[in-house]
Chain A
Amino acid sequence: MPGGFPDTPGAPDPAARFDDALGRVDADAAVEVVDGLLDAGADPLGVLVDVIAAGLRRIGERWQRAEWTVAQEHAATAVAVVATRAVARRAERVPATRGQVVVACAEREWHALPATIIACALRTAGWRTTLLGAATPARRLSQYLHDLGPDAVAVSCSVLGSLPATRHFIEAGTAAGIPVLVGGAAFGPDPVRALALGATAWAPDARAAVTAVAGLPAVVPTAPPLPQAVAAEQAALALAHDRLAADLRVRWSPTARVVGTPPLDGVDGVVGSVVDQALHAISAVLLTGDTRALSWTADWAEALLAARGADPALVTELGDLLTAALPEFPLALDLVERHWDRGLTTSGHLPT
C-alpha cells in the first residue's frame, strides 16, 4: 500500500474496505476506515490521495464500464464527501502557519470533491483555505480574490467542458497578480494544457498540489490573451453548443443498434454525454492546442459504448456527423478530420 499505512494483521487493506463502503453507500463504514487510519497515525495526505481520491477514481471507472448508474456514482461520491469531511475536521486543528489559498471549480464543473480534497490537503499542510463549491461563476471567484487577497488560487477541473471557464478563472487570478495552480483529469497527464491556458503551475494530484503551491511566485503577470482566431471560434462554438448537440443526438444512431443485454444506464444518457463531450473536446483543443484531447475522447466514447453493448464503429459515425455539422467552424472541422478517430481500434490505429 503506498502512503505507508499501518498494517492491521488479518484486516483487508484500507483502500479495499473504503471501496466496499462506497459500493454499499455506507457513510459510517467509510468514515470508520478513514478515522481508523488517522487514529493509527497515517499521514492525512496519504489518506486523501491513496484512499479517498483513489476510491473516487474507481467510482468514475465503474460508471464508465456501465457497472454503476449515474445515481450510484452520485451516492458513492456523497459517501466519499462525508469521509473527506472526517479528514477535514482534523485538518482544522493544524495551525495555519502559511498563506491563504482559494480553491474552486469553474462553471460546468460539478465534481466538487476533487477540489474539496485539494483544499483539505492544503489545510493539512498549514495553508488557510477557502473552498468555493462546484460550478462557481468567475464573478464570484473575483469577489473572493478582491476580498481576501490570497497567495494563490487552485482550480480543479475534471471535465473538458469546464476548461473554457477555467481559463476565465486563470484570467481572474492572474489579472490580480495571483498565481493559479490547476489540476484535474481535464488537463491530461502533463502540463501542456495547463500552460497553454496560462496557468502558473499544474499538479497531477493533491500531493503534488501541496508541493506546487509552496513553490509558486508571489506575483505573476496577467496571462497573455489566447490567439484571437481560436478564441473567437471557440466562443462561437460554445454559443452554438445546444443547437449542435441536439442536432447530433437526433442524427446519431446508437440507440437503434444497441445489442446484448440492456445497459444499466440509459443509452440515451450516454449518447448525450458522448455528444457533449465530443463538442467540449473540440473546444478544449482549440484553446489548448493539445489534439490528444480529441483522439482520447474518441477512445473514451468507444469504451463507453462498448461497455453498453453498442457497436464501437458508431464513434466513427459520430466523427462523420461532426464533420458534416461544423462547416461554419473551419478550425474545428480541420481538427475533427485530422484527430477524431486517429486512435480508434476500429480504424486500426491503437493509441500509444
Chain B
Amino acid sequence: MIPGTTGPAAGIPAPPLDGPGARTRGGDHGPGWSGQHAELADEVTTALAGSLNLRRTVLRLVDLLRPRFADWVLVVLADHRLGRLSLHGGTDPTSTDSVARNPAEDLGVGRVLRSGQGELLHVAPDSPTTDGLDSLIPHDALRAQAVDLRPADVLGVPLTARGSTIGVLVLLRGGDRGFPAEDIALAERIAGRAATALDSARLYEDRSRVASVLQAGLRPPSLPRIPGMRIAAGFRAAADHSDISGDFYDVHGHGDDWLLALGDVCGKGVEAAVLNGRARQSIRTAVHFDRSPAVVLGALNSALYDDGDARFVTAVCTRVRPGADGGAEVTVAVAGHPPPIVLRADGTVEELAARGIVAGVRPTATYTEVKDTLAAGDTLLMFTDGIYEARGARGFYGMDRLTRLLPVYAGAGPEAVCEAVEQDVVEYLAGRPHDDMALFAVFCGR
C-alpha cells in the first residue's frame, strides 16, 4: 500500500509551452488507458527473465513502462559497496549517473529505501516552486526533465526482492493524468517482479566482476610480434561458453631468443584453469633464469611436485632463435606431451622425436632436448591432445588426419595453419562435446 504522502504544498511552475516539455510530453493515451496494461506485470516478468545484465535489465524495464504506463521512468538502485545511488533512465533511457546516498537519506527516495513503502507526490498545477520533486528525483538534470513534463503525479515504489529493498522505481505522469489507486497497485506489482530480476542481475554482476578479475591472468595471452617470424594460436575450451581451460600457451623472450610453451593440465574447468595458472607462472619464472627448454621443464616439474598436488601437467617448450637467413634454430623438449610437428615449406610433415616424462609426478626429472632448423617458409605446430582425441561420428580425429590435412597449408602462415586445423577438428566433431583444445604455431618468414 502507498501511504499517500501529499506532495509539495507549493506546486510547480508551468514550463514555456514551446519548450522541450511540449515535445517530450506523454502521448494521449485515450480512454481505457488503465485497462490496457493488465498484462503488463506478466510481460515484465517474461521480458526481464531474458537478461542477467543489470544495465540491460534496467533498459528493458524502462522500455516496457514508457510510454505505456508512465511518461517518464527512473530506476534508482542502491549501491551498498560504494554508498551511492545509481540513477538509470529519465528522458534518455540509456543514461546512467550516480549520486551520493547520504544527502538523499531523508528525502523520499531514502525513506522508500529504508521503509520499503512507496510514496506518491501530487503536484499542484500552478505552484511556483519545483522543490518538492527533490524528494524522489535527487538529481538536478533529471529533475529538470521531470519539471518539463509538468507532472501531475510522481510515484516512487519500492523495488523489494528477497527481503531487501534494493531500489526505487520512480514513475511520472504528466498533464492532468495522475495515478489512480488501481494503477498504484499495478505499479507495486510490476516493481515487485522487476525487483527480483534486477536483484538477480545485481548478484550476477557482483559474481561476474569477481570472476573476471580472477580470470584475467588465466585467459590466453595476446601474442607479441617476433621479428622475422609470425606466431598464431587457436584455442577452444571444453566448456564452450568459457575463456579459461586446462590448456595453455605462452610466449616469453625478446630480440632473437624466444621460448614458446604449450601445455595441458589434467582435469577440466576452473580447477584445471587454476593449476594451469600455476604451471604458466612456474614456466614464466624459470624462463627468467634460463631459456633452455629442458631446464624450464625441469623447473616446472619440481615446482609442481613441491606443491604436493597429485595432479600433473604435460607441456612442450620450444626455444626459437631466428637467424639472419630468414630461418630459425629451434630446441624442443617435452614433458609427457605430443612433440611438435614441422610442416616444411615444400609440404613435408615431420614429427620431432622429443620424449619426456609428465611434469609434477617425480621429485626431479631430466628432459632431453631435440634440435632442428626451420628454413624460411617452415611452420612448427604445437597442439594438445584435445585436437587428435576429438571424438566425432567416426571415432577419434587422430594424428593421421592431422598430418594429411597439413601439407596444402605449407607456406600459408601460422594463422592459416591454426585456422585450418581448428576448423577441420570442429567440423569433424559436428557439435559433439570435446576436450579443451589448443594450437600454437610459429612460422619462419613474413
Contact = CB atoms under 8 A, between A and B. Distances in A.
Contact of B240 (A78, A139, A175): A139
Interface stretch (A25-33, A117-125, A298-306): A25-33
Given A26-B446, A27-B446, A149 B55 contact: yes
B413 to A, nearest CB: 4
A133 B208 CA distance: 21
B146 to A, nearest CB: 20
Interface on chain B toward A: helix, strand, loop, or mixed SS? helix
Contacts of B55: 149
Interface stretch (A43-51, A140-148, A189-197): A140-148
B412 A145 contact: no
Chain B CB within 10 Å, residue with most, of A75, A81, A151: A75
Interface residues of A, number: 42
A115 interface: no
- Interface size class for chain B? 35 or more
A222 B50 contact: yes
A149 B51 CA distance: 9
A70 interface: yes
Given A78-B416, A134-B419, A219-B63, A175 B50 contact: yes
Contacts of A142: 241
Contact of A146 (B47, B204, B412, B419): B204
A79 B413 contact: yes
A69 B408 contact: yes
Contacts of A242: 393, 430
A132 B409 CA distance: 24
B203 to A, nearest CB: 12
Contact of B50 (A25, A74, A177): A177
B51 A146 contact: yes
A108 B212 CA distance: 28
B94 A177 contact: no
A176 B50 contact: yes
B413 A145 contact: no
A106 interface: no
B426 interface: yes
A178 B52 CA distance: 12
Contacts of A221: 47
Interface string A71-88: 110110111011000000
B161 interface: no
B53 interface: yes
A263 to B, nearest CB: 14
B289 to A, nearest CB: 33
B59 A219 contact: yes
A253 B54 CA distance: 57
Nearest to B418: A78
B132 interface: no
Nearest to B240: A137
16 contacts: A25-B413, A71-B416, A71-B420, A82-B230, A107-B431, A135-B426, A145-B51, A145-B53, A146-B53, A149-B55, A175-B51, A176-B56, A177-B50, A178-B56, A219-B59, A219-B93
Given A78-B415, A81-B415, A221-B47, 17 more contacts: A26-B446, A27-B446, A72-B412, A74-B420, A75-B416, A77-B416, A79-B413, A108-B427, A134-B422, A140-B240, A143-B242, A145-B56, A146-B52, A147-B212, A149-B51, A175-B51, A177-B47
Identify the 5 closest CB pairs spanning chains A and B, nearest first. Answer: A149-B53, A75-B412, A176-B51, A219-B63, A74-B416
